[in-house]
Amino acid sequence: MLKQYSYQTKVKPGFTLVELLVVIAIIGILVALILPAVQAAREAARRTQCINQLKQFGLAALNHESSHGYLPTGGWGWRWAGDPDAGYGIEQPGGWYFNVLEYLESGTLRNLGSDGNAKVISTEQLNFSGQRVSTPVPEFVCPSRRGASVYPYIHSSAYFNVTRPEYVGRNDYAANGGSIFPPDGMWEGPAPVGNQMPDIREMKNLFYEYTTPFAIKQGRGVKDPGNGPILALSTTRLARIVDGTSLTILFGEKHIPFGEYDTSNTAGNDQGWDLGYDIDIQRWTTHPPQSDSETEQVDVYSVFGSSHPGGCQYVNCDGSVVTITYDVDEIAYRALGSINGEEIVDQAAF
C-alpha cells in the first residue's frame, strides 16, 4: 500500500506595500536630516581652503615688500600681461597676480616668455606668454565657486604683448584699489609703438592723471583718486599705510553674480588672472561686499563679494585674514579701503 505524503509550502513573511512606503519615508527623512550637515561640513572645508589661499597671497605680498621695498604693483592695464624681464616696479606691465608668482613657488610660470629684453616685445615673448595666460592656477579660484579650468577668451580686443589666447585661466580674488572707484579711461593702458615697449613717462602721465583718450587730446585730466595699497604703477611701502596695516584690506574675494562663474559674458569676469590694472583683478570698498546670490546688486563689477554664506573673506596688509559680513556698516567698511584716510575705525562694526 502506497503511503500518502502531504507537502506544505511555507510562505516567508514579506513587506507589505504600506511597510515598504514607511521604510522609504524614514530613509528620506534621515537623508533630509543628514544632507544639510554634510553640505555644511563641505562648505566649511571649502571656506577654510579659501582662507588659506588668501593667507598665502598676504604672505607672498609681504615677502615681496621685504624683498623689493614695496607691495606688488598693480600693472598697466587689461591689455598687458606680465613681462618676466621687466622687473617688479612701475616698468612691470603685469598686475599683482603676476608679481606674487615667485613668492607662491611658481617662479617657473612667471618666467615663461622671458627673452632677456624688457624693451622689445619679441615673438618668443608673444608665444610663451600665451602659455602662461592660458594656465589655470588652482590657488587663484575659490573652491566654493569653481575648479581651476580654462575659459574661452572672447574679448573683442587682445593683449598687446601676448599672442591672442584661445583660452585663459580665471581668478576669484582681487587687490584693494581703495575706497573710491576710479574714473574710466585707464583700463586699457598705454599702447606699444610697433614692437617697442612704451616710454615710462607716458605711462605715469596716463595713470597718475586718469584721463580718457579724448581728454588727453584736449589737455584735460582728472586727479587720480586711488587710495588703496595696490594701484596702477604703484609701489606702496608698508610705512605709507598710516591707517594701520591691520585695518587696511590688501586682497579679498571679488564679487561675481551667481550663474556667471563659467561664462565670459560679464565685465569683471571676462579676462584671465595674468593682466594689469583692471576690474578683473582689482576691487574697491566704495560699496559693501555683496553675496553672489544677491538679486539687487549695486556696482556689481567694482565690489568685493563671495559665494560663502554670511560674509566675504579678506587678508589685511598685516597678513591677518578676516570675514566681513554683507550687512557691514558702509562708512566703517569704506575706511578699510584707504591707506591714509586717517579714519577712526570701530572694530565692533565688523
pLDDT in tens, 162-186: 999 999 999 999 999 999 887 665 5
| Buried b / exposed e along 58-77 (16+ C-beta atoms within 10 A) | bebbbebbeebebbbbbbbb
Q: pLDDT tens digit string along 32-51? A: 877 777 777 788 899 999 99
Q: How confident is the model at residue 350, as a pLDDT?
A: 64
How do residues 72-110 score in pLDDT, each as one tens digit? 999 988 999 999 999 999 899 999 999 999 999 999 999
Whether this prediction's pTM lies above 0.75 is answered by: yes
- Residue ranges of the alpha helices (H) in the chain? 17-68, 96-100, 107-110, 123-133, 200-208, 213-218, 330-335
Most confident residue range from 110-114, 183-187, 261-265: 110-114
Mean pLDDT value of segment 206-221: 47
**Residue 79's closest CA among 235, 277, 265?**
277
pLDDT confidence of residue 99: 98
Cell 563659467 sits at which residue?
262
User: Rounded to an integer, what distance in angstroms lies between the CA atom of residue 339 and that of residue 319?
Assistant: 15
Residue 59 backbone phi and psi in degrees, to 5: -65, -40
Residue 294 has pLDDT above 90, yes or no: no
Q: How is residue 144 written as a grid cell?
A: 566654493
Average pLDDT, the chain: 85
Segments making up each domain of the chain, as ranges: 32-337
- pLDDT surpassing 60 at residue 214: no
Statement: residue 212 has pLDDT above 50: no
Residue 289's pLDDT band, with cuts at 50, 70 and 90, is very high
d(CA 134, CA 338): 33
- Lowest mean per-residue pLDDT among 20-24, 126-130, 137-141, 336-340: 20-24
Query: Which pLDDT does position 268 carry in this prediction?
Result: 87
Residue 265 has pLDDT above 70, yes or no: yes
Asked if 60 contacts 104 with a C-beta cutoff of 8 angstroms, the reply is yes
pLDDT at 262: 86
Instruction: Write the burial class of residue 32 (CB in 10 Å: 0-12 exposed, 13-18 middle, 19+ buried).
Output: exposed
Burial of 90 (0-12, 13-18, 19+ CB in 10 A): buried
